[in-house]
Structure 1
């Protein structure tokens, strides 16, 4: 498989934050916990590492006062839009509405930036848009007394997320990259409105499964959850086998540590509809 379809990740997690106090306390403790769990993490960089899988933004009261942090969050959200990054905000004693709507300390900080760069500055508009988008994401809230529990939750979530590894594909299948690009354009991955299906048809042995795996490897990190079900026809001949497939689908897509037991096919359909209906 061509290397451009799945560049190897050098770092797993990038931490964006502001302040010496955070570095010494929450961010420092989170960093050490991630490292102890074998998750390659970095906190400082002149530019955001494109190889990272996950960016954690720790929003604090004074985050928006830093031009450096605003440039960072803009770059992070740009990478997210390109499908190269998963973004997790942590709201450190700050309401998400302050971040996304520019309230309180964020309003004061942005007013100062507008005074310097101009109210119609594209730079400031870009920062505001990035803050709005990041502040609208699912995230965690850090309040007094729950730091250890929160760090454990974050490490557990990231560990599960990073377990979503690429599938094995033959090293250099001829012409596969151009076919993956064509299929990706058909899927319209930027849309959040539609459920899209595409069928691969042809006689056995021509590379349909290889192409499907390559497409999966090229796109799975753009989704909140993903699952590759192989040999469905052979493993779904009875109701029990269908239930097994449903359980695998739920476990992989929801990043569960253990199988969620499904009692029947109908029950599985209901659980899938409820648990996956709002996920991309």
Structure 2
């Protein structure tokens, strides 16, 4: 009797399984046709379940609820942080959500200096000033915090020598 009761309240392992191993966060105009596709294909070929937004968002579009669901339903995330990453509020929203959910984040610093990511300097300075003016300080602080934290993680720095 005790065995039956235990099984009735313990969820099965399959019900706890996530749909994706990795969520890819990236700025499409910078990386979709090169490093993002290469990374996606390499992971997928190894049997890793990867979520990649293949439709891209346009200015003014609402972020798809499916993207937030995919972040929630992923074990980890790879953030491919490129020069125009912070020009997209959607990329920053993804990154903030990933960070706030406590997901494992593996950063790829694609043609950017990790210290610029951490401090929002270099190519990120003007983008953050524009976003702050457009969406308010509160949202910008949330996005800045996520960028600072992810910029402080030891990741892979892409410097054109590998491709």
Structure 1 residue ranges (4+ consecutive) displaced by more than 3 angstroms after TM superposition? none
Counterpart in the other structure of 2:135: 117
2:161 aligned to 112, 130, 145, which one? 145
CA distance in 1, matches of 2:69, 2:28: 18
**Which has the bigger relative contact order, CA under 8 A and spacing at least 6?**
2
Unpaired stretches in structure 1, ≥5 consecutive residues: 148-280
Per-residue deviation, residues 166-221 of structure 1 (Å, max 9, x unmatched): xxxxxxxxxxxxxxxxxxxxxxxxxxxxxxxxxxxxxxxxxxxxxxxxxxxxxxxx
Say which structure is richer in strand.
2
Per-residue deviation, residues 111-141 of structure 1 (Å, max 9, x unmatched): 10122134xx211110010100111112101
TM-score, reference length from structure 2: 0.80
CA RMSD, aligned part only?
1.8
Counterpart in the other structure of 1:90: 108
Unpaired stretches in structure 2, ≥5 consecutive residues: 1-6, 54-65
CA distance in 2, matches of 1:21, 1:104: 16
CA distance in 2, matches of 1:124, 1:3: 39
Q: What does 1:195-210 align with in structure 2 at a 5 Å threshold?
A: none
Question: Are 2:77 and 2:105, in contact at CA under 8 Å, matched by a contact in 1?
Answer: yes
Counterpart in the other structure of 2:83: 61
CA distance in 2, matches of 1:95, 1:115: 25
TM-score, reference length from structure 1: 0.48
